Structure 1
Amino acid sequence: MCVYRTIEYADDTTILGLINNNDESAYRDEVKSLTSWCQKNNLSLKVSKAKEMIVDFRKQHRGQHSIIYINNSEVEQLYVPGPKCSNTFHCCKTSLILLLCLRLLVSHRTVLLWMENQTVLTPLEQPIVFELEGFSVPPGYAPFLFFLALFAYMVVLLGNGVVVLVIFMDKNLHRPMFLMICHLMVCDLLGSTAVLPSLMMHFLMGQRKITYAPAITQGFYVHTYGVAVQTILAAMAYDRYVAVCEPLRYHSIMTSARLHSYCALAWILALVLIAVLFSFHMNVPLCGRTIQHVYCSNRGILDLACIPTPISNIYGLVMTWSVSSGTFILIAFSYIRILSVSLKQGRADSSIRSKAFQTCAPHIVVYVLYEVAIFIVVVSYRFPSLSQNIKKFFSILFIIIPPAINPIIYGLISKDLRSSIIKQVSARVCLKN
Structure 2
Amino acid sequence: MSSSYNVYNVSSVLFLQGFDLSPERAIAAFVFAALNYIIILFCNIFLLFTIVSNRSLHQPMHILLLNLPINDLLGSTALFPHIMQELLFDTRTITFSSCVTQAFFIHIYAVAAVFILTAMAYDRYVAICQPMSYNTIMSNGHIMKIISLVWLSNWALMAVLFILLLRLPRCRSYLTHTYCDNPSLLQLVCADTTINNIYGLIITAICQVLTVGLILYTYLRIMIACFQNKCSDTRSKALQTCGTHLIVFLLFECLGLFTIISYRILNISPHLRKFCGVAAMILPPTLNPILYGLKIKEIRVKGFKFFKRKVSHHNVQ
TM bin, normalised by shorter chain, reads over 0.9
Choose from 377, 382, 385 the match for 2:259.
377
Alpha carbons 2:37, 2:80 under 8 Å: kept: yes
Structure 2 counterparts to residues 181-330 of structure 1, below 5 A: 181-330=65-214
Give the alignment's Cα RMSD to 1 decimal.
2.0
* Distance (whole Å) between structure 2 residues aligned to residue 157 and residue 366 of structure 1: 18
Alpha carbons 1:287, 1:304 under 8 Å: kept: yes
* Distance (whole Å) between structure 1 residues aligned to residue 290 and residue 283 of structure 2: 11
The equivalent of 2:299 in structure 1 is 417
Q: Which has the higher contact order (CA 8 A, sep 6+)?
A: 2
* Distance (whole Å) between structure 1 residues aligned to residue 266 and residue 160 of structure 2: 32
One-letter amino acid of the structure 2 residue matched with residue 325 of structure 1: V
The equivalent of 1:405 in structure 2 is 287
* Distance (whole Å) between structure 1 residues aligned to residue 257 and residue 206 of structure 2: 17
* Distance (whole Å) between structure 1 residues aligned to residue 57 and residue 256 of structure 2: 31
One-letter amino acid of the structure 1 residue matched with residue 34 of structure 2: L
Give the TM-score taking structure 1 as reference length. Answer: 0.69
The equivalent of 1:432 in structure 2 is 314
Per the TM alignment, residue 40 of structure 1 is displaced from its structure 2 partner at its CA by 7.0
Per the TM alignment, residue 384 of structure 1 is displaced from its structure 2 partner at its CA by 3.4
Q: In the TM superposition, what whole-angstrom CA distance separates every residue of 1:191-224 from its partner, at most 9, and x where no partner exists?
A: 1111111000001111222112211110001111
Alpha carbons 1:136, 1:389 under 8 Å: kept: no
* Distance (whole Å) between structure 1 residues aligned to residue 306 and residue 29 of structure 2: 34
Alpha carbons 2:13, 2:94 under 8 Å: kept: yes
Which ranges of 4 or more aligned residues in structure 1 deviate by more than 3 Å?
37-42, 375-386
Per the TM alignment, residue 385 of structure 1 is displaced from its structure 2 partner at its CA by 6.6
Per the TM alignment, residue 375 of structure 1 is displaced from its structure 2 partner at its CA by 4.7
Per the TM alignment, residue 380 of structure 1 is displaced from its structure 2 partner at its CA by 6.2
Per the TM alignment, residue 317 of structure 1 is displaced from its structure 2 partner at its CA by 0.8
> Which structure has the greater CA radius of gyration?
1
Alpha carbons 1:123, 1:306 under 8 Å: kept: no
Q: 1:317 to 1:38 in 2, by over 3 A?
A: closer
One-letter amino acid of the structure 2 residue matched with residue 366 of structure 1: V
Alpha carbons 1:380, 1:394 under 8 Å: kept: no
Alpha carbons 1:153, 1:196 under 8 Å: kept: yes
* Distance (whole Å) between structure 2 residues aligned to residue 38 and residue 353 of structure 1: 59
The equivalent of 2:10 in structure 1 is 124
- Greater share of strand residues, 1 or 2? 1
Alpha carbons 2:161, 2:200 under 8 Å: kept: yes
The equivalent of 1:356 in structure 2 is 238
Alpha carbons 1:285, 1:307 under 8 Å: kept: yes
Identity %: 36
Aligned pairs, number: 313
* Distance (whole Å) between structure 1 residues aligned to residue 4 and residue 136 of structure 2: 68
One-letter amino acid of the structure 1 residue matched with residue 290 of structure 2: I
Structure 2 counterparts to residues 30-49 of structure 1, below 5 A: 41-42=6-7
- Greater share of helix residues, 1 or 2? 2
* Distance (whole Å) between structure 1 residues aligned to residue 88 and residue 5 of structure 2: 30
Choose from 33, 39, 49 the match for 1:165.
49
* Distance (whole Å) between structure 2 residues aligned to residue 305 and residue 216 of structure 1: 13
One-letter amino acid of the structure 2 residue matched with residue 409 of structure 1: L
Counterpart check, 1:179 vs 2:63: yes
Per the TM alignment, residue 383 of structure 1 is displaced from its structure 2 partner at its CA by 8.4
Q: 1:246 to 1:38 in 2, by over 3 A?
A: closer
Gaps of 5+ in 2: none
The equivalent of 1:50 in structure 2 is none
SS in 2 for 1:295: coil
Q: 1:385 to 1:230 in 2, by over 3 A?
A: closer
* Distance (whole Å) between structure 2 residues aligned to residue 179 and residue 40 of structure 1: 48
Per the TM alignment, residue 140 of structure 1 is displaced from its structure 2 partner at its CA by 2.7
Gaps of 5+ in 1: 1-36, 43-121
SS in 2 for 1:156: helix
